[in-house]
Structure 1
């Protein structure tokens, strides 16, 4: 058992060295790549997520399993958030979706500019009316352009067994974009916990059935929260 833990730590060290070391030139060159247009830059970002996936599979032994599949065409995806892993996997899987991101990240020098160039949608968790309206306009424009929109409506990473309440923004976003909503349950914290070492294993992404546009707020929030936490069960 001690030997197994030592091997996991060694794999994690190799993974982090390769991924973060390889990410340095990718991130530093992102502003340059962004100058070649949004299409090129989004391909650049997807390439980064593919590099992440390669490192995770081949160096850390983390694999992805899918239960269900994304929709063809634009949709609004509401995903559970447990680790760094799904932020990369969903960008790769959905081919450069518009991701709703907290405004703190958009303020990071250089990175924030590049993220806006990619087409992130900034959300202000303070809930000001003007900020929410701006978020809805950007999300609606992304959907109209044929891009999927991804939001992590619990607003923070959580451990297995935790189900934080939904934050402000989901219901308004759902109403504004007028697209089917697909909840995504996942269990990435089993291999990449918020606190603690990485482990090899398989992360499951479960795509729920599309929820049609136009449902009442209470119903949509209850359905999404329940389906997002479908895989969120502590080990026996």
Structure 2
């Protein structure tokens, strides 16, 4: 059975990247001149991934909580590529902070720029964020939901990793509420490897944290809230949190 699921997973992974190419090419004329077009392309591809995941590898997806629609910072738990897609598809105007090098990636770079992602050179995140705030204030850049992963990388289910202070810096610079996001998607769609496991993959938008909290209070509350709820979602998925605790 594992061998069959691995084969199904391999076919699934191959076809979603083929679909990315097809959607990227088809929407390119629209996306080149329209942010709405770029978002439509990305959300179309996300829908395709969710639909094929359900019947090809048995992964069902669910979004819980109140989805933010205003200008907020979203600080999310990051376990695999699936949580990126689920958050982006759920919010109306999502964008990410990304490495500048991604701009030169075929298809992905075009659409990352198209949806308004913030390219950041190594060691220059602060400069990029200040410029983004100035551009939004001046009307040169559309506001929306800026998504950041507070641990800085994908973290496997049950593994503990520190939350980086850059989230608090960004929170202070933006002067916006912060919406934490918990998840269990890594149980079914791991950060590495081909095998996808059947089950219910969830992201959950948690109650917003108001703007203006002191840095230490903000970081402590964010980490405690996201980790506690993510652990609860892992338990719901049948994952033994204690064995890695």
Question: Scaled by the length of structure 1, what TM-score is found?
Answer: 0.85
Q: How much has 1:121 moved relative to structure 2? A: 1.5
Comparing 198-207 with 13-22, which one deviates more in the overlay?
Answer: 13-22
Work out the CA distance in 2 between the residues paired with 1:222 and 1:185: 15
- Structure-2 separation of matches of 1:102 and 1:94: 22
Name the CA distance, whole Å, in 1 between partners of 2:108 and 2:138.
Answer: 22
Contact 1:64 1:202 in 2 (8 A): yes
Correspondent of 1:165 among 142, 162, 167 = 162
Give the TM-score, by structure 2 length. 0.82
- Indicate which of 21, 35, 40 corresponds to 1:38: 35
Alpha carbons 1:76, 1:180 under 8 Å: kept: yes
Closer/same/farther in 2, CA of residues 113 and 9 from structure 1, 3 Å limit: closer
1:49 aligns with 2:46: yes
Matched residue, 1:89: 86
Query: SS at the partner of 2:200?
Result: strand
Distance 1:170 1:125 in 2: 16
Aligned to 2:203: 205
Paired residues of 2:72 and 2:178 also in contact (CA < 8 A):
yes
The aligned counterpart of 1:225 is: 223
2:109 equivalent in structure 1: 112
Q: Which runs of 5+ in 1 are unaligned?
A: none
Aligned residues: 232
* Structure 1 position 12, deviation (Å): 0.7
Secondary structure class of the residue paired with 1:229: helix
CA RMSD of aligned residues (A): 2.6
